[in-house]
Chains A and B, each alone.
Chain A
Amino acid sequence: MTALMTGELIKTRTTRTLFAYAASAVALAVGNALILILSKDLVTTADKQEAIAGLPVMLLLLGLVGAAGEYRHRTAAPAVLAAGRGRGRLLLARAGAYAVVGLAVGALTSAASLVVGLPLLGHEPGPGVGIGVILSVAAGNILGSALCAIMGVAAGALVRNQVVGVVGALILMFVVTPLLNLVNETAVAYSPLGAAVVLAGDPSVASLSRGGAALVLTAWVAAALLAALLAEQRRDLA
């Protein structure tokens, strides 16, 4: 499994995609912090926490583009032939590699939003953000990023089409999840994207604890990965 993950990690870091997504994730995290802090007074701890919360869904897109790209660029077939240990194990190794990438990019985005956000939050009225909250938000964002990256790999392996996958994910993010939020605020926390947002430190969805969100997101990721593994065994490659 180590060899398979090494091979998949080489693949992730030898194209520009990872670096483009990492740069975008950092820019969005910093932009989110700046917009929230500079646009209004953040008085409560919850407001301040939202400003330093991460955006793990970017990693979902990265995993999706990477996994679906295996079929677009026909790189899946030579990988299976070289690995020679079954498509399921290869997909798990790919998910593992993207989880590592998710941890790294999650740590980077958390560091960026904290470095930019914390000094500015110090000038805001009300109580400060304690070290416990900071660590909790950062840990949640990093874990959420890793889980979202695995979810993206599973979705990419299921859809096998980058455009369809990304458009579907964007519809889920900007149409389905907000609509669900309007219909039932409690239910949205149990959706994969809702749980990811809660885990990454956004306190606006209060119906679920961060630990609960981690469990919900893990369950979604496990289900998606299982579906992708079953599909991978049944479908043709290339």
Chain B
Amino acid sequence: MQRLARPLAAIAYRDDPPAAAPPPAIVVEGLTKRYGDVTAVDNLSFTARRGAVTGFLGPNGAGKTTALKTIVGLARPTAGRALIGGVPIGPTAPDARELGAHIEPCGAHPGRSGRDHLRSLAALAGLPRQRVDELLATVGLEQAARRRVGTYSMGMRQRLGLASALLGDPDILVLDEPLNGLDPQGIRWVRTFLRERAAGGRTVLLSSHILSEAAQTVDDVVVIHQGRLVRQGSIDELQRLGRGGVLVTTPTRERLAAAVRHAGGRAELQEAWDRMLIDGLDAAQVGELAHDERVVLHELCPSGVSLEDVFFDLTTEDDR
């Protein structure tokens, strides 16, 4: 009878409707945070999907840290809400096994050793002491574990903060500027580490004010400026915006523009510089097209619109 039970259960399982997809790891809905007359976060909504690293980007003072504090429950929202794993954040923070967060500064007493700092947090989380030694090895702080945090460099404090966020080996990791102060080896290590977590189906939300730095780590981006969302999408989309076009200077612009349009590209005249910006074709294609059409070119070069330029444009539109 017992031998039959499993096949029958399997049949019943196959007949069940498919299980609902898990909710996004982080959902932010209309989040607003005001301090008196100052609105630090303004009606912010976005999601961070599972199995991805989401970059939370914006210039200094954009409201990133305030938003992250509100998302993890350290600050109370003025309006809106954040859901972690589908559960609204309330006065009780999620379990350290579900959510780990490191929001600057590292939050360790300068007179306490890094190891004791992690030991106290592990005890608060109900985690075994061995986890502390594992993490000290993971973040490369074994040698400095018994030194007071006050003697740590900024990079070491970042590593300690990361270790505290990782204590419960959480499914969701929220990190505020985790690459700040790290040396190149440290940056590479953090990138690889976060990518591996995302590849394993975990979720990472990390803030940064340098897009080019975060671009190598993230899958998705949420760009905010003055507390408001200005763009959410994949990093690929943003990189496509940053790819730019080809700048051309020619005495026969109309003729080249017609040829470009015929070839599937887009030509835009830049009156200020008497040049043309061509999208949809690369410099080599434009050069060959000009040759075929017997168009004289005085200048032909990539426009040089970088990812940083796109980021700058996105985050200064409101200022203009």
Bound Cα distance A15, B120 (Å): 12
Q: Which residue of A lies closest to B164 (CB)?
A: A78
Residues of B within 8 Å of A76, CB to CB, are: 107
Does the CB pair B125–A84 fall under 8 Å? yes
Bound Cα distance A15, B73 (Å): 28
Residues of B within 8 Å of A79, CB to CB, are: 120-121, 124
Bound Cα distance A14, B121 (Å): 13
Q: Hey, what's the 0/1 contact readout for B85-127 against A, CB within 8 Å counting as 1?
A: 0000001111110011111010111111100110111111110
- B243 interface contact, C-beta 8 A: no
A207 nearest CB across to chain B (Å): 42
The B-contacting residues of A in range 1-28, CB under 8 angstroms, are 3-4, 6-8, 10-11, 14-17
Does the CB pair B107–A78 fall under 8 Å? yes
Q: Which of B96, B122, B124 contacts A4 (CB 8 A)?
A: B124
- B75 interface contact, C-beta 8 A: yes
- B69 interface contact, C-beta 8 A: yes
Q: Which residue of B lies closest to A86 (CB)?
A: B92
Residues of B within 8 Å of A87, CB to CB, are: 91
- B167 interface contact, C-beta 8 A: yes
Determine the interface band of chain A, counting residues with CB < 8 A from chain B.
20 to 34
Bound Cα distance A11, B119 (Å): 9
- B283 interface contact, C-beta 8 A: no
**Interface stretch among A44-52, A67-75, A173-181?**
A67-75
A60 nearest CB across to chain B (Å): 21
Residues of A within 8 Å of B123, CB to CB, are: 3, 6-7, 10
Residues of B within 8 Å of A78, CB to CB, are: 102, 107-108, 121, 161, 164
- A82 interface contact, C-beta 8 A: yes
- Chain B interface main SS type: loop
- A77 interface contact, C-beta 8 A: yes
Greatest chain A CB density within 10 A among B73, B102, B123, B168 is at B123
- B259 interface contact, C-beta 8 A: no
**Interface stretch among A114-122, A142-150, A164-172, A229-237?**
A229-237
Bound Cα distance A79, B102 (Å): 11
A219 nearest CB across to chain B (Å): 27
- B26 interface contact, C-beta 8 A: no
Does the CB pair B119–A82 fall under 8 Å? no
- A134 interface contact, C-beta 8 A: no
Contacts A81-B100, A238-B103 given; does A7 touch B109 at CB 8 Å: no
- A123 interface contact, C-beta 8 A: no
Bound Cα distance A236, B164 (Å): 20
Does the CB pair B91–A237 fall under 8 Å? no
Bound Cα distance A4, B93 (Å): 14
Residues of A within 8 Å of B161, CB to CB, are: 78
Residues of B within 8 Å of A205, CB to CB, are: none
Residues of B within 8 Å of A80, CB to CB, are: 73-74, 93
Some 16 contacts from A to B, beta carbons below 8 A apart, are A3-B126, A7-B121, A11-B112, A11-B120, A14-B113, A73-B109, A79-B121, A80-B73, A80-B74, A82-B122, A82-B124, A82-B168, A84-B96, A87-B91, A237-B74, A238-B103
Given contacts A14-B119, A238-B69, 4 further A-B contacts (CB under 8 A): A15-B112, A81-B72, A83-B93, A84-B96
